[in-house]
Amino acid sequence: MHLTALALHAIAASATAHSWAPRIDAKDAPAIRAALDGGQPFVAAGALSPEACDAWTDELMRTLGDVPCTQQIAGEPFEAPLAEFFYDALASTHEEPHFLFDEALLDGDLRDAAIAPQRAIFDGEESWLDAFPAARRPADACVVCAGAGARSPLHRDPYDWTGTSLCLEGSKVWRFLLDVDDAELEAYKLPSEAFGDDSAGTQSDIDLYCVLEGDWPHAAEFENRDLVKAKAGPENFTPSADVPGRFCTALQFAGDVVVVPPKSWHQTYALEPSCAVASQFCGRRDAPTVFEHMLRHQSRDDDGVLDLARTAPPRDAVRALFARLDDLDS
């Protein structure tokens, strides 16, 4: 897509419809619950201490630094050890960004340490995804590393569950589109290995960060969060196409968990070299919508499953769901 006068006008106009996602102390359980019930993006600030973040990234390099991973430079994939990414990413730019996404890298203590602060957001509630048959269980500890200027695709997550992402190093901008239809973004489905269909999320080729206006702070200036916030605002980026509706921005630093509500279109941008672990959660709040989506996508009738999603114990409801999908193989 080409930049047009309409696109330039759209980002200027949308600034009036822009808001900042709230930052909530991760230890403030009542405020976190209220934010989850409100269904809007937010940042659970300080979910992991700086010392714990440093210890985690040190252990990642010590135990997995030599493991080959698929990496990208300007969208071109190649295989290289994980540790090399962090050296090479120092050369990352807006025009030639370095990016890494790996769903299978983590297990054991490293996985558990990255997932625990994200699960804590839900105040002890069980994720129903843990009860899915093993072959159908989504990866719940996806490593996402990015050099400065790297961005994810604009997308929304599969099956309308709640997404979470813990930043362990660096800082990122998250842009969320509100009140937007898939058709307005020329969206398309992605294939799912687990389900053998096109249910692995929905993506758009629109880049919300297409043109960078001005310069970024120097590395030493990232301690000044007010300066970083000023640079991360919508006036500093021009999208690749007209973007309808309202949007909000979240600013994420090491130790923060960003909570992504169901059906939320979002795209991230790395302000500096960063490392995060992304996951997802499905509790009683999400289950009816998630179940309905899965049944509809595979052309199955409800047959009472949605009532179970609202009332039955999680594992009983999940068992009934997969029996209805003719896919109970656990």
For residue 196, the number of C-alpha atoms closer than 13 Å in the C-beta half-sphere is: 4
pLDDT-based confidence at residue 85 (cuts at 50, 70, 90):
very high
Contact assessment for residue 202 and residue 156, using Cβ atoms and an 8 Å cutoff:
yes
Does position 7 have pLDDT exceeding 50, yes or no?
no
**Distance (Å, whole) CA 289 – CA 303:** 15
- Pair 261, 116 in one domain: yes
- Pair 293, 173 in one domain: no
- Pair 272, 290 in one domain: no
**Distance (Å, whole) CA 169 – CA 127:** 26
What's the mean pLDDT in 130-146?
A: 90
- Pair 193, 301 in one domain: no
Q: Which two tokens stand for residue 105?
A: 């890298």
What's the mean pLDDT in 187-197?
A: 69
What's the mean pLDDT in 104-128?
A: 94
Lowest-confidence range among 52-61, 80-89, 117-126, 230-239?
230-239
DSSP class of residue 151?
Answer: B
- Pair 278, 291 in one domain: no
| H helix runs in 208-326, sequence order | 225-232, 287-297, 305-311, 314-324
- Pair 234, 126 in one domain: yes
- Pair 172, 57 in one domain: yes
* pLDDT-above-90 percentage for the chain: 57
What's the mean pLDDT in 173-185?
A: 90
Contact assessment for residue 176 and residue 247, using Cβ atoms and an 8 Å cutoff:
yes
pLDDT the model gives residue 120: 96
- Pair 172, 295 in one domain: no
pLDDT the model gives residue 167: 97
DSSP class of residue 270?
Answer: E
User: pLDDT, tens digit, for every residue of 60-83?
Assistant: 999 999 999 999 999 899 999 999
Name residue 45's beta-bridge partners.
25
pLDDT the model gives residue 12: 41
pLDDT-based confidence at residue 160 (cuts at 50, 70, 90):
confident
Q: Nearest to residue 68, comparing CAs of 79, 56, 59?
A: 79
Task: Give CA torsion, residues 310, 315, 317, 321, to 10 deg.
Answer: 140
For residue 97, the number of C-alpha atoms closer than 13 Å in the C-beta half-sphere is: 23
- The total domain count for the chain is 2
User: pLDDT, tens digit, for every residue of 139-159?
Assistant: 889 999 999 999 999 999 888
Domain hosting 187: range is 5-285
User: pLDDT, tens digit, for every residue of 249-298?
Assistant: 999 999 999 999 998 999 999 988 999 999 999 999 999 988 888 888 77
pLDDT the model gives residue 134: 86
What's the mean pLDDT in 183-202?
A: 73
- The CATH number that applies at residue 25 is 2.60.120.650
pLDDT-based confidence at residue 232 (cuts at 50, 70, 90):
confident
DSSP sequence for 81-132: EHHHHHHHGGG--SSS-EEEEESSS--HHHHHHHHHHHHGGGTTPPPGGGGS
Mean residue pLDDT across the chain: 86
Count CB neighbours of 39 within 10 A.
12
Q: Packing angle between helix 50-64 and helix 108-119, nearest 10 degrees?
A: 150
- Pair 15, 102 in one domain: yes
Contact assessment for residue 289 and residue 296, using Cβ atoms and an 8 Å cutoff:
no
- Pair 278, 305 in one domain: no
Does position 9 have pLDDT exceeding 50, yes or no?
no
- Pair 42, 188 in one domain: yes
- Pair 216, 327 in one domain: no
pLDDT the model gives residue 13: 43
